A and B are shown apart, each in its own frame.
Chain A
Amino acid sequence: MSDTHAHNASFVRETMLPEVAPPATQTGVIKWVRENLFSSWLNALLTIISLYVIYYVLSHTLGWMLYGIWDAGSLSECREIRDEIYGADASVACWAVLADRWDQLLFGFYPQDLYWRPVLALLVFFVAVAPILFENVPRKLFYVTAVAPFLCFWLIWGGSIWTPIAVALGFVIGGVIIRFGDEILGSLGATIAGLVVPILYWLFFAGPVAGGLSAIAPIEMQYVASDEIGGFMLAIIIGVTSIILSFPLGIVLALGRQSDLFIINKSCVFFIEVIRSVPLIVWLFTASLLLNYFLPPGTNFDLLLRVIIMVTFFASAYMAEVIRGGLAALPRGQYEGADSLGLNYWQSMQLIILPQALKISIPGIVNTFIGVFKDTTLVVFVGLSDPIGFSNLIRATTDWNGIYWELFIFIGACFFICCFAMSKYSQFLERKLRTDHR
C-alpha cells in the first residue's frame, strides 16, 4: 500500500530525557512556606499575626534577658552597674538575685554545711526510681528502692539512724509473716497477721527498740527541724512523698469504688467525692487549723507532716478516679477470663486486671502527678516556705525589694522542667507499653 515505513515516524521515544529539577516554587523552602504558611488568605493572615506576636514578645524580653546583670549584691547595686554600662533608662534583668540567693531558693534555711545531705538523698532517690522507670537498668537496684525511703528520710532530717531502721523493721516483720506464715496460719490468717502485727509493733515496740539501739550504739547525724526545710527541696519532698503514697491508696480506693460490697463502695465514693469537690487550699487550712481538734488531746505533730498527709489524701482521691476510669475501660471478658481461670479476687486483680487498667490510665496518672507537684506551691498559704514563699521572703529584704520577674522566671522554669520531663516520660511509657498493633 504505502512505501512510507515506520522508520521515520517513531511514536516511541528512544532516549531518556535528563532529570530536571522541579520548578522553583515547588521545592525546598519556598514550597514549604507556601504550603505551611500562606496556603490561603486566612492562613497568611494568621501567619502575619503570629509573626507580629513573636516579634513583640521577643523584642520586649530578649534584650532584657540577655543583657541581664549577674554580679551584684542588691537591686540598687544592679541599677548602678546598669547605669554605667547601658545608660539609665535601659531595661535589663537583674539575675544577680538568683546568683545571690539560689541556695536559699533550692534549700531554704537548711544549714549550709549540710547541703550535701539533701543532694545525696536526691541521688539515692534517682537510683531508687531508675529500675521502676526504665527496664534496661540492673534489677539489683530494687534493693536500693526498698531501702531508699528510710535512707532519704535519715539523710534529710538526720537524728539517730535507729529510728528509720526501727520503722523499717515493721515492714520486714509484716513481709516475713505474709511470706512464710502460710503453713501455720493459712493464707487469709497470714495476710491478716501480716497487717496487724506490724501495726502493733509500730504502736508499742518501735519507740523502745529505736531508743534501746541508739543507747547501745549511738550513730546519729545533726538533726534538722522541718521548719528549716524550704525552697524547691520542700516542693520535691512534699510532691514525691505524696505521689508515692497516694498511688497505692488511690488503687485501693478505686477498687473499693468498683466493689459490689455496699458499705465499702459507699464509703469510698463518699471519701472521693468530698475530697475532690473541696479545693486543696481549704484542705490545707483544715490541716493547719483543725487537725489538732481531731486527734487525741496533747498530740502535736509537725506541720510538714500534716501537709503531706493532706496532700496525699487529696492526690489519692484524684488517682482513684483516674484508675477507676482504667478499670471501667477494660472489657468485661477480662474479668470473666480471670474468674474462669479460678483466680481469687486479689490474684485476678494483681495478675490480670490492674496491669492492664494501670496501663490504660498512664496519661491520667501522670497528669495527677504533675498536678500534685504543681499544687505543692499552695503550701505557702499555711506558712511553709516553698519556692514562691521564698520569693516573697527575698522580696521582703531591703536588698531585693521590688524584684519580680527574675524570681518568677526562675521558679517557673524549674517547675516547667520537672513537669515537662514527667509528661515526656509518660509519652515514652505509653509508646513502650502499647500492645495494640496499629
Chain B
Amino acid sequence: MATMTEPPAETFRLSQLIYDTRYRSLTIQVVAFILIMAGLFWLASNTVQNLQSLGKDFNFGFLGQRAGYDINQRLVEYTNDSTHARAALVGILNTLLVAFVGCIIATIVGVIAGVLRLSNNWIVARLMAVYVEGFRNIPTLLWILIVFAIMTEATPQPRDFRGDDPEASMILFDTVAITNRGIYTPAPVWGDGALMLVLVFIASLVGIWAFRRYARKRQEQTGDILPVFWTSLGLFFIPSILFYFILGRPVTLEYPELTGFNFSGGTHMRNSFIALTLALALYTGAFIAENVRSGILAVSKGQTEAAFALGLRPNRTMNLVILPQALRVIIPPLISQYLNLTKNSSLAIAVGYMDVRSTLGGITINQTGRELEGMLLLGLFYLITSLIISSLMNVYNSSIKLKER
C-alpha cells in the first residue's frame, strides 16, 4: 500500500526568491518597480534642482497671458491681444484641419493607386509602381519642400492676371485663381433661408439612411432588391436643388477678384496649407496604396470564382464578397497611416504653417521661456489625438472584423 507521505514542511528560505519560480516573478517585478521608481525620482529631482537653479517655477499661468503675435491662418477669432491659450487653440484647430483634409485626400489617392497598381494595363500598373516607390523612399520633409517650391516658384504672380492679354488666367470658368500666394476659390455667402436649405439637405441625408435600412430589411424578408443607388442619388440632389430655387437662391457664391496688388473675396487657401496637406496626402497615399493592394491580394481567387459560380454579377461580387474581406486586412494598417499623417503634420514648421507645434510649441515657448510646460502640453495634445483616432478606428474595425463562432 502506498503510504501517504507528508509534504515537507514549508520553510521559506531567502534563496527561494531567486530560484523558486513561484516567487521569482514577484522578485523580478519588485526589483523592476524599485529601479523604475528610482529612475523617475532621479529625473524628477534633477528637474526640480535645475529649475531652482534657473529661478523658474512650474505653473501654467502663462497660458492666460497676452500672446502678442499674429497667426495668419485661423479658424476661430484671434488677434494678437488674445491669450496664449487661444493661440494654442488656433494651432490645434489648424493641425486638425490639415490632418482631416489630408486623411480624406490620402484615402482617395491611396485606394485609386492601390487598385490601379493591380490593373492588367501594363503602363498604368508601372506608373503607379513609380508613384508608390518614389513617395515611399524619399523623406516626407523633402516632398513637402518640393510641393511648396512648386506652389511658390512655378505658379504665376497675381499681377500676371492683370491686363488685356494676361500671362495667366483663372481656371474653371474664371472662378479659381492659382497664384504664388495661394489658391483663391469662390466662397459661399449664406443669405436668408440658408438655414432652411441646410435642414432640407440634412433631412435628405436622413432619408437616404432610412431608405437603405428599409431596403436591406425588405431584401432580407422578401428577397426583392430595391434600386438603392439611384434612389439615394435622387434623394441626395433633388430635394436640395428644388428647395434652392423655391427659397429664392439663399446661397450665392462670392468670386475672387483681382483688386489692387492681390486677389480679394472668395476663399484664400494659403500655399503653406496646400503644400503641407497635398504633400502629406500624396506621401501617405503611397503607403495606403500598398495596404489596399495587399488587402485585395489577400482575398483568395477562389472567393471570386465561387461568387461567380453562384451567379453573382461582378459588382455584387465586389461589394458583397471581396470588399468586406479585403477591408479586414486594410483597416488596421489604415489606422496607423492616419495616425502617421496626423503626427507628420508637425512638419508644418518646414513651410511656416501655424500648427500647434509652431504656436504652442514654438512662439509661445520662445516668448515665455516655459519649455517644460509647453512641451508637456504639446505632448499631451498629440497623445490624446492619437488615442482618439485609434480608438475611433478600432471601433470601426471591430464592427467589420471576422465574427468567429
B-binding residues in A (CB < 8 A): 35-37, 39, 43, 46-47, 50-51, 53-54, 188, 260-264, 267, 273-274, 276-282, 285-286, 289-290, 292-297, 370, 374-375, 377-378, 380-381, 388, 404-405, 408, 411-412, 415-416, 419-420, 423
* Interfacial chain B residues near A381, Cβ < 8 Å: 349-350
Q: Contacts A37-B122, A277-B383 known; A370 to B142 CB distance under 8 Å?
A: no
B347 touches A281 (CB 8 A): yes
- Cβ B32 vs Cβ A420 within 8 A: no
Please tell me if B160 contacts chain A, counting CB pairs below 8 Å: no
Best-surrounded residue of A46, A293, A380 (most CB of chain B within 10 A): A293
A51 with B137, Cβ < 8 A, contacts A261-B29, A290-B375 known? no
Interface residues of B, Cβ cutoff 8 Å to A? 18-19, 25, 28-29, 32-33, 36, 43, 46-47, 49-51, 53, 116, 119-124, 127, 133-134, 136-142, 145-146, 149, 153, 339, 343-344, 346-347, 349-350, 357, 361, 365, 371-372, 375, 378-379, 382-383, 385-387
Question: CA–CA, A296 to B53, complex, Å?
Answer: 12
**When the two chains form their complex, are residues A285 and B47 in contact, meaning their CB atoms are under 8 A apart?**
no
Pair A188/B18 contact, Cβ less than 8 Å: yes
Q: With the chains together, A381 CA to B347 CA distance in Å?
A: 9
Evaluate contact between B32 and A264: CB separation under 8 angstroms. Answer: yes
In the assembled complex, the Cα of A293 lies from the Cα of B46 at a distance in Å of: 7
Q: Which residues of B contact A39 (CB under 8 A)?
A: 120-121
> Shortest 7 CB-CB distances between A and B: which pairs?
A277-B386, A419-B137, A279-B343, A374-B139, A36-B122, A279-B346, A377-B139
- 7 new A-B contacts, CB < 8 A, other than A47-B123, A263-B32, A286-B375, are A36-B122, A50-B121, A267-B36, A278-B382, A388-B139, A412-B142, A416-B137
The answer to whether B123 and A282 have CB atoms under 8 Å apart is no
- Report whether over half of chain B's contact residues are helix, strand or loop; otherwise say mixed: helix
Residues of chain A within 8 A of B141, CB atoms compared: 377-378, 380, 388
Decide if A294 touches B46 in the complex (CB within 8 Å).
yes
**A residues in contact with B386, CB < 8 Å:** 276-278
Residues from chain A with Cβ under 8 Å of B140 in the complex: 374
Complex: A296 Cα to B372 Cα, angstroms: 16
CB-based nearest A residue for B125: A36
CA distance A360 to B121 in the complex (A): 32
Q: How far is the CA of A294 from the CA of B46 in the complex (A)?
A: 5
Given contacts A285-B361, A290-B372, contact A415 B346 (CB under 8 A): no
Which residues from B are CB-within-8-Å of A36? 120-122
CB pair A53–B127 under 8 Å, yes or no, is yes
Do A50 and B371 touch across chains, with their CB atoms under 8 A apart? Answer: no
A50–B375 CA distance with the chains assembled, in angstroms: 47
When the two chains form their complex, are residues B121 and A47 in contact, meaning their CB atoms are under 8 A apart? yes
For the complex formed, measure the closest distance between the CB of A396 and the CB atoms of chain B, giving whole angstroms: 15
Q: Known interface pairs A408-B145, A412-B142. Does A285 touch B137 (Cβ–Cβ under 8 Å)?
A: no
* Distance between Cα atoms of A293 and B51 in the complex (Å): 7
Q: Assess the B46–A408 pair: CB atoms within 8 A.
A: no
List the A residue with the shortest CB-CB distance to B43.
A294
Q: A415 near B371 (CB under 8 angstroms)?
A: no
| Shortest Cβ distance from B342 into A: residue | A279
Q: Is the CB of A404 within 8 A of B383?
A: no
The CA-CA distance from A277 to B383 in the complex, in Å, is: 5
* Chain B residue nearest to A413 in the complex (CB): B138
Given the known inter-chain contacts A279-B382, A285-B361, please indicate yes or no for A292 contacting B50, CB distance below 8 A: yes
A170 to chain B minimum Cβ distance, whole angstroms, is 20
B142 partner, pick from A54, A262, A388, beta carbons under 8 A: A388
| Chain B: CB-nearest residue to A189 | B18
CB pair B50 A50 closer than 8 Å: no
Complex contacts, B43 vs chain A, CB 8 Å: 294
B35 to chain A, nearest CB (A): 10
- For A37, give its contact among B121, B372, B385 (CB under 8 Å): B121
Docked CA distance A327–B349 (Å): 38
What are the residues of chain B within 8 A of A50 when measuring CB–CB? Answer: 121, 123-124, 127
> A293: which B residues are within 8 A, CB to CB?
46-47, 50-51, 371-372
Question: In the complex, which residues of chain A have a beta carbon less than 8 angstroms from the beta carbon of B19?
Answer: 188
Q: Please report the C-alpha to C-alpha distance between residue A374 and residue B141 in the assembled complex, in whole angstroms.
A: 9
The answer to whether residues A290 and B137 also contact, given A37-B123, A267-B32, A412-B142 and a CB cut-off of 8 A, is no
CA separation between A374 and B135, bound complex, in Å?
Answer: 11
Contact B145 A261 (CB under 8 A): no
Known A-B contacts A261-B29, A408-B142; A416 and B134 likewise in contact (beta carbons under 8 Å): yes
On chain A, the residues within 8 Å of B378 by CB distance are 282
